[in-house]
Amino acid sequence: MSGMAGGSLSSAPQGQVIDFEHAELRRVPFQDSLYLWVRAKIGDGFEMRLAPRVYHERPDFWGIEVVAFTPTGMRDFSDSTAMAGLTERSVPLVGITGVRGVNVIGASQTLQIEIDNGSL
């Protein structure tokens, strides 16, 4: 996904946005940082990344795309409908949190997660 969408740019233009199974916020015990954890099914030969969108101004909800890509950077997603393996990835939310929270973006779904000031 590339180009402008809602005043933002994708930070993973070589990947394909995919659907996710589950998304939640977690605080890592040995750090004082809040993380977004996402679980999704991906096909063999693909890797998953959480790709925060790029904004000129801080939005209400910061968009974070769930993206599948090939490690070699090739864009052959012809077999991407055969999703099989569950994968879980996380990203620290420092510097990528909107005024009200984050918006997890999948291929056919989004999930807005509000974050109060006490969570940060």
Is the distance from CB of 61 to CB of 111 less than 8 angstroms? no
pLDDT the model gives residue 120: 55
State mean pLDDT over 11-24.
87
pLDDT the model gives residue 39: 96
pLDDT the model gives residue 96: 95
Rounded to whole angstroms, the Cα distance separating 73 from 92 reads 24
Helix (H) or strand (E) holding 17: strand 16-17
pTM across the whole model: 0.80
Domain boundaries, the chain: 16-114
pLDDT the model gives residue 81: 44
The pLDDT tens digits of the residues spanning 40-86 come to 998 888 889 999 999 999 999 999 999 998 876 545 544 444 446 88
The pLDDT tens digits of the residues spanning 81-117 come to 444 688 999 999 999 999 999 999 999 999 999 998 6
Q: Do the strands 34-42 and 85-92 form a parallel or antiparallel pair, or are they unpaired?
A: antiparallel
Residue 75's identity, in one-letter code, is R
pLDDT the model gives residue 106: 96
- Residue keyed to tokens 């999704």: 40
pLDDT the model gives residue 105: 97
Higher pLDDT, 24 or 12: 24
Percentages (nearest 5) of helix, strand, coil residues in the chain: 0, 45, 55
